[in-house]
Amino acid sequence: MMELLSALAPDTLEPPDDWLLLSDPDVSTLEAELVQAALRAPRLSAGRMVEQFEAGFARWLGRAHAVAVPSGTLGTWLALRALGVGPGDEVIVSPYGWHQVGHAVTLAGATPVFSEINYWSGCLDPARAATRITPATRALIAGNVNGHPASWQELRALADAQGLALIEDSTEALGSRYRGRPVGSFGDVAVFDFSQPSALCCGEGGLLVTDDAALASELRYLRSRSTADRRSVSVGARVPMQAAMSELSAALGAAQLARIDEILERRKQVQAAYLTHMQTFEGIKPPYIAPEVDEVHWMLYVVHLGKRFTASALAQVVEDLATELIEAAPFCQPLHQQFHYTQQGWCRGQLPLTERIADRALALPLHGHLEPEHVAFIVKTLKDSSVNVGAGAAIY
């Protein structure tokens, strides 16, 4: 027992305290109390914590139903199955983003069809997506990239006109608002993910939300087999997965949800500090927010480096920041450039706008534990690095 405790000592699990981390969950005593309550309960799965988290999140978002799942990727897979999408079908997907829920299309046996993004928001471009629709197209998956809402009015009109299911990927967005409504309220089903670096962090886990009672029932049926189903012969008609959220993850989620306004406000203060210091860059523009967007809660603070920067220059900037104990990362490796999809005929050059943006998108730390002096140091180090790589100042 002592060997196990020694192996799990905090200093062996956590990065050094002097690093400025890309993300750092906002955890309080409430999370510890609810996790302890879950541990004292007779169930560690399929219990009351999951039910309460689902109900609370649905109320907070203003949707009728929420279904807890282990991750955004598995949640999207379940959603596609529940919508009847499978082999022989095509799904239009953005290649750009942090959480690669586009993989769920492949897991469902359908064919992902990648489409270009809007240059400013990074979200799926409705007009370009329309050109990708074929008789085999069954659904659109569009994301609120890094917290910026997609063009949901146009995407909804496109899906309705073509008879397509609309899946809203909100794995990168929590609290942002578009035309008076929160993200997560626009798709036939919306997908949330609560792994890092989400503002609401359960470690791992996600939720599907919908207003369709029949769809919610099908999602719950496909999510997992209950004890009562063990002798059922009808379950195999649509084979369910083992894809439920644990009571411990739900306890973390419920506590974070109770504090979500406080968590988001602290992150907003960090965003404001970034904006102040970034404006000391010559030629810097504020992060883009579309006119129809009411509010954006960024998942990470992403800057787009100048056109003179290359992908290798971006990698050098990441190394320079790491030398000063600042954790940073390229924001996205587009899906169509990843090995699995290159084996299906996708390659660099097919989506030049996505590639141009991805080559220069740098994710910087964003979480409520950053102080103004931390942000000032991050921005100064970024300035020094931009000179070091010989490409000039960064721009959005």
What CA–CA distance (Å, rounded) separates 94 from 91?
Answer: 10
- Taking only the tens place, the pLDDT of each residue in 17-58 is 689 999 999 999 999 999 999 999 999 988 899 999 999 999
Mean pLDDT of the chain: 91
Q: Nearest to residue 303, comparing CAs of 353, 350, 362?
A: 362
Asked if pLDDT for residue 66 goes beyond 60, the answer is yes
E strand intervals along the chain: 65-69, 90-93, 111-114, 137-143, 165-169, 177-178, 181-182, 189-193, 206-210, 293-295, 301-304, 329-330, 361-364
Does 334 lie in the same domain as 186?
Answer: no
Is residue 343 a part of any domain in this protein? yes
What CA–CA distance (Å, rounded) separates 88 from 80?
Answer: 13
How would DSSP label each residue in 32-60? HHHHHHHHHSS-SBSSHHHHHHHHHHHHH
Is residue 136 a part of any domain in this protein? yes
Whole-number pLDDT of residue 86:
96
Asked if pLDDT for residue 234 goes beyond 90, the answer is no
Does 67 lie in the same domain as 137?
Answer: yes
Does 216 lie in the same domain as 147?
Answer: yes
Reported as a pLDDT band with limits 50, 70 and 90, residue 396 is: low
CATH number, domain of 62, equals 3.40.640.10
Asked if pLDDT for residue 382 goes beyond 60, the answer is yes
Whole-number pLDDT of residue 95:
96
Whole-number pLDDT of residue 228:
65
DSSP state of 291: T
Asked if pLDDT for residue 316 goes beyond 90, the answer is yes
Does 69 lie in the same domain as 186?
Answer: yes
Does 270 lie in the same domain as 188?
Answer: no
DSSP state of 343: T
Whole-number pLDDT of residue 235:
59
Whole-number pLDDT of residue 307:
81
C-alpha distances in angstroms, 377 versus 321, 365, 394?
10, 12, 16
Whole-number pLDDT of residue 308:
81
Does 207 lie in the same domain as 354?
Answer: no
Is residue 41 a part of any domain in this protein? yes
Does 344 lie in the same domain as 235?
Answer: no
Asked if pLDDT for residue 281 goes beyond 80, the answer is no
Is residue 19 a part of any domain in this protein? no
CATH number, domain of 282, equals 3.90.1150.10
Is residue 15 a part of any domain in this protein? no
Looking at 226, 258, 290, which one is the last position of a domain? 258
Lowest pLDDT segment from 12-26, 93-107, 371-385? 12-26
Tally the domains of the chain: 2
Whole-number pLDDT of residue 391:
57
Is residue 230 a part of any domain in this protein? yes
What CA–CA distance (Å, rounded) separates 104 from 185?
Answer: 21
- Taking only the tens place, the pLDDT of each residue in 296-310 is 999 999 998 888 888
Whole-number pLDDT of residue 13:
44
- Taking only the tens place, the pLDDT of each residue in 116-167 is 999 999 999 999 999 999 999 999 999 999 999 999 999 999 999 999 999 9
Does 171 lie in the same domain as 87?
Answer: yes
**Rg of the chain in Å (alpha carbons):** 21
Instruction: Calculate the CA dihedral of residues 379, 363, 264, 58 and round it to 10 degrees.
Output: 170
* Residue 270 domain boundaries: 260-388
Spatial neighbors of 6 by CB under 8 A, at least 6 apart, are: none
Reported as a pLDDT band with limits 50, 70 and 90, residue 71 is: very high
